[in-house]
Amino acid sequence: MKFYTNSIKSCTARIGKLTEFNRIPNSNFETPLVLVYTKSGSVPHLTKDVFEMVTSDPQMLSVSLSSTYQMFESVKDTNINFANFVGMKEYINILTLHDPAYATPSGFQEMDFTPIWTRKGKCKLSPKQYMDVIEAFKPDMYVALYDGDTKINSSRKRLSNAIRRTTTFFEKCFSIHSSSETLKSSEILGVIEGGYDKEARSWSIEFLKDKPLIGYVIDGLHNNGPDVKNISTEQIKEIVEYTVNLLPVEKLKVSMGCWNPLTVLDLVELGIDVFDTSYPYVITENLEALTFLCDHQDCNNIGHVISFTEKRYADDFSPICRLCECLACKNHTRAYLHHLCNTKEMLSTVLLMIHNLHQYFEFFKIIRENIKNGTLDDYKKKINLKFKTQNDIVQTDDQ
């Protein structure tokens, strides 16, 4: 697997390419890229057949160990890779530790173990146990074991412990990775920790920057979950910019979590290459539809989301967006979606997930086009207006 970029500057929006995958040699992905969020290896609310109708473009899947760990023994016994086990062999997959759509409980770290939270509760993993899972799953790319239990108000002691444990875990994981015949075709990502402390970030980067890695995950900014969408760029910009400036320009930079589209655009401008679709999943779970791409009069969508729990849509027989090409917009009305949501029909989240994923895929296509055209700043201003208008509407309704 290789990552190429023409960018020679840090902290700048850039186009790159991920290519030369061992398992699917013809796969090529342009960055900035969004990974498809999965639960138990599948796209939430969608069967594989339906997902294939959402997009015909090649996609990369984000697979969290917390949602798949219960499959470990079965995957190991069948002796096939995880992609084949879950019937998603056509897709490149990246294995991560925690589920970005759900808050990771804080304060359960131990010296030689990292906890993950599965359907059966807490499971403790040592580096050896973690690498046993990796060798069974055989992901195309995976994140080294880490301690990412930090956020904006973490103490220096917590930051120091997180870095010390993450570096120790990496050394053990990388040693097993390097000697493993099974993992010769898998790439490992290093994890940059340090919370919001620049000195701590420097320690973490100094340890990893010369390692033979395809890229890095910039972690430790949050504990996952829906609240991440409320984190503003102002909170994270300084520390992300500092971190990216210290990392090798030519390496891949990843930031997981359900960042809102405004923050995604700012992170793209800071040189982040890879994100995930946990944001549209969280929006779907809220029974909302993304409308922040709408910039025309026909739809009358002036904010970035609409909620189908609101009575105003009960007699609205227009689609979510008249110019959207997704299956939900081409075949169903807002009134029907309002009915489905209020009667708690399963089809409601199916249709909303179809629409929200389609919108997010289009969003990243537009980001790449604007980077190539040198118009990303103008596009950011347009999207900012959508979020500003939505906030104005909310404040007016509250009054």
Cis peptide, bond prior to residue 319, ω within 30 of zero: no
Q: H or E element: which one contains 289?
A: strand 288-290
Predicted pLDDT of residue 395: 45
State the CB neighbour count (10 A cutoff) for residue 294.
22
Q: H or E element: which one contains 123?
A: strand 121-125
First to last CA, the chain: 54
Distance CA 62, CA 141 (A): 10
- Average confidence score pLDDT of the chain: 94
Distance CA 358, CA 356 (A): 5
- Enumerate the known binding-site residues: 324, 326, 329, 355
Q: Which amino acid, 68?
A: T
Distance CA 274, CA 94 (A): 11
**pTM of the predicted structure, to 2 decimals:** 0.94
State the CB neighbour count (10 A cutoff) for residue 90.
13
Report the DSSP beta bridge partners of residue 290.
Answer: 305
How far apart, in Å, are the Cα atoms of 149 and each of 98, 105, 220? 11, 9, 6
How far apart, in Å, are the Cα atoms of 115 and each of 66, 72, 195, 261? 9, 16, 19, 30
Q: Which amino acid, 342?
A: N
Q: What is the DSSP string of 363-387?
A: HHHHHHHHHHHT-HHHHHHHHHHHH
Residue ranges in the chain modelled with pLDDT below 70? 296-298, 389-399
Predicted pLDDT of residue 7: 86
- In the chain, the domains with their CATH numbers are 2-284 (3.20.20.105), 287-394 (no CATH)
- Enumerate the known binding-site residues for Zn(2+): 324, 326, 329, 355
Predicted pLDDT of residue 396: 45
